[in-house]
C-alpha cells in the first residue's frame, strides 16, 4: 500500500471514530486501546467492540435485516435484567449471544500487521489474523470465547431459570475474560513502538 493511500485511509477512519465517539457509539472499555493503536503511525482502527452480551430476536436463521436487538450489554449482567429484556420478545427465534472483543485494524505494511497479530495472539486473541492484503492491509483481532444459544421462540423462553442462570454465568465469564485479555493487549500495544 502506498503511504498516501494509507494516510488517507487512516484520516478517514479517525474522522469516523471521532463522529462515533461524539454520538457515544464507541464502547468506553475499548477506547483506550483504540487511542493507543491509532497513535501509532503504522496503524488505524476501522471498527471495534469490547465484547458484549446480546439478546436477539430473529424471524428466521440468517435474517440479519429482520433481527431485533432486545438487549445489548457491554458488561456482565444479572438474570433479572436479562429476563426483563426478554419480555419485549414477540415473534421469532430468541438467541442469547456472548461475544468476545473484536477489532479491525488497518496496517501500513505486512511486517507491522504480522507483529500486531502476533502481539494479539500472545494476549489470548487466538483468532487474530491478516484478513486482506491486496489493496489495503486489514487485520482482525478476536478471541475464541463465545456463546450462541437459542433460548426461545415467539416471546416464550424455553429455558428454566437454572439453565438460563448457567447461560448468563457463562456469558458473564466471556465478558470478564475479555476484559482481562484487553488489559494485557493494551499493555503490549503501549510498548509496541519499542518492538516495531
Strand partners, 130: 139
* Domain spans, the chain: 3-195
Measured CA to CA, the distance from residue 193 to residue 196 in angstroms comes to: 5
Enter the pTM of the model.
0.86
* pLDDT tens for the chain, residues 1 to 196: 577 888 888 888 888 888 877 787 777 788 889 999 998 889 999 888 889 999 999 988 877 788 999 999 999 999 999 999 999 999 999 999 999 999 999 999 999 999 999 999 999 999 999 988 778 899 999 999 999 999 999 999 998 899 999 999 999 999 999 999 999 999 999 887 544 4
Architecture of domain 3-195: 2-Layer Sandwich (3.30)
CA 89 vs CA 82, 143, 154: distances in Å: 12, 29, 7
Measured CA to CA, the distance from residue 85 to residue 178 in angstroms comes to: 23
- In three state form, how does the secondary structure of 145-165 look? CEEEEEEEECCEECCCHHHHH
Amino acid at each position: 500500500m502506498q503511504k498516501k493511500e494509507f494516510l488517507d485511509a487512516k484520516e478517514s477512519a479517525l474522522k469516523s471514530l471521532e463522529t462515533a465517539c461524539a454520538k457515544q457509539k464507541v464502547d468506553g472499555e475499548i477506547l483506550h486501546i483504540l487511542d493507543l493503536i491509532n497513535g501509532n503511525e503504522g496503524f488505524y482502527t476501522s471498527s471495534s467492540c469490547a465484547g458484549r452480551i446480546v439478546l436477539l430476536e430473529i424471524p428466521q436463521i440468517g435474517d440479519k435485516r429482520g433481527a431485533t436487538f432486545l438487549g445489548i450489554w457491554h458488561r456482565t449482567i444479572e438474570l433479572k435484567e436479562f429476563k426483563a429484556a426478554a419480555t419485549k420478545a414477540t415473534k421469532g427465534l430468541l438467541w442469547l449471544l456472548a461475544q468476545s472483543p473484536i477489532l479491525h485494524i488497518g496496517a501500513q505494511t505486512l511486517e507491522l500487521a504480522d507483529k500486531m497479530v502476533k502481539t494479539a495472539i500472545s494476549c489470548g486473541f487466538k483468532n487474530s489474523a491478516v484478513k486482506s492484503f491486496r489493496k489495503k492491509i486489514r487485520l482482525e483481532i478476536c478471541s475464541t470465547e463465545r456463546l450462541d444459544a437459542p433460548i426461545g421462540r415467539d416471546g416464550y423462553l424455553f429455558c428454566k431459570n437454572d439453565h438460563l442462570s448457567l447461560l448468563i454465568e457463562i456469558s458473564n465469564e466471556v465478558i470478564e475474560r475479555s476484559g482481562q485479555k484487553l488489559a494485557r493487549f493494551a499493555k503490549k500495544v503501549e510498548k509496541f513502538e519499542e518492538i516495531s
